[in-house]
């Protein structure tokens, strides 16, 4: 589904990504890991259309997408759940979810999907009239995920969804990711939390200093001391 090849990104005179290549097959859940400054956010921003690479290709469903703007990425089916949740704090939960469907015109489908979101996240139904900024961190994460799902993505980008969540909420997040993957949704999970990646992903790539330093089965990350110590600082 997604093929990234020889991606190079520069910020001014600084090379941030160097010949990065990876794939996300249809129906897969792939993890992209690395410490701070490794280049994870730059990859997500490139895939979301916020950063234009200096060279390399980003092919999605056979179409070259590198350098296209964010709205083109969303229309193509690439949708991001941003790091830190970034809900529209002064808007209601319901308005946040409606915004996720802003590019759609199928009213019945939107209503059906809204009910599905309330079934997936019952707390959001109870708080649909509340301002999103008044919700707990875990509830805001649910809003961010549900808002992205309302656009009916073909590829969901999860940018460090476990950041700032308690262990109990991280466990709940893992179950939600498993449920969505079980429904056939293709996902790219960007994380620092090795445990989350190992629990849900099939394939994993580890970034170090803007390059792919490791690739292999995600569950094997937990037992790989070289990866943990050298690339993830554990």
- Provide the pLDDT for residue 226: 75
Report pLDDT digits (tens) over 129-181: 999 999 998 899 999 999 999 999 999 999 999 888 889 989 999 999 999 99
What's the chain look like in SS3? CEEEEEEEEEECCEEEEEEEEEEECCCCEEEEECCCCCCHHHHHHHHCCCCCCCEEEEEECCEECCCCCHHHHHHHCEEEECCCCCCCCCCEHHHHHHHHCCCCCCHHHHHHHHHHHHHHCHHHHHCCCCEHHHCCHHHHHHHHHHHHHCCCCCEEEEECCCCCCCHHHHHHHHHHHHHHHHCCCEEEEEECCHHHHHHHCCEEEEEECCEEEEEEEHHHHCCCHHHHHHHCCC
pLDDT band at 47 (very low <50, low <70, confident <90, very high): very high
Chain segment 53-90, per-residue pLDDT in tens: 999 999 999 999 999 999 999 999 999 998 877 899 99
Domain ranges of the chain: 1-77+156-234, 83-152
Q: pLDDT tens for residues 186-215?
A: 999 999 888 899 999 999 999 999 999 989
- Provide the whole-model pTM: 0.92
CATH class of 1-77+156-234: alpha beta
Return the higher-pLDDT residue of 150 and 221. Answer: 150
């Amino acid at each position: 589904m997604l093929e990234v090849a020889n991606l190079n990104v520069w910020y001014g005179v600084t090379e941030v990504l160097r010949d990065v290549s990876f794939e996300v097959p249809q129906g897969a859940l792939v993890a992209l890991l690395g410490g701070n400054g490794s280049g994870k956010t730059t990859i997500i921003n490139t895939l979301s259309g916020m950063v234009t690479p200096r060279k390399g290709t980003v092919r999605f469903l056979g179409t070259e997408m590198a350098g296209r703007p964010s709205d083109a990425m969303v229309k193509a089916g690439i949708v991001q759940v941003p790091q830190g949740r970034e809900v529209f704090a002064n808007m209601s939960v319901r308005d946040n979810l409606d915004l996720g469907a802003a590019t759609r015109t199928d009213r019945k489908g939107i209503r059906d999907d809204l009910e599905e979101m309330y079934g997936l996240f019952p707390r959001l139904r109870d708080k649909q009239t509340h301002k999103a900024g008044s919700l707990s961190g875990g509830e805001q994460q649910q809003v961010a995920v549900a808002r992205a799902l309302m656009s009916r993505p073909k590829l969901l980008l999860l940018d460090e969804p476990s950041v700032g969540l308690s262990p109990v909420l991280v466990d709940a997040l893992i179950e939600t990711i498993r449920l969505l993957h079980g429904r056939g949704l293709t996902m790219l999970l960007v994380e620092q939390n090795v445990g989350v990646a190992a629990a849900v992903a099939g394939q994993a790539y580890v970034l170090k200093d803007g390059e792919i330093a490791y690739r292999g089965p995600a569950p094997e990350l937990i037992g790989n001391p070289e990866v943990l110590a050298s690339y993830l600082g554990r």
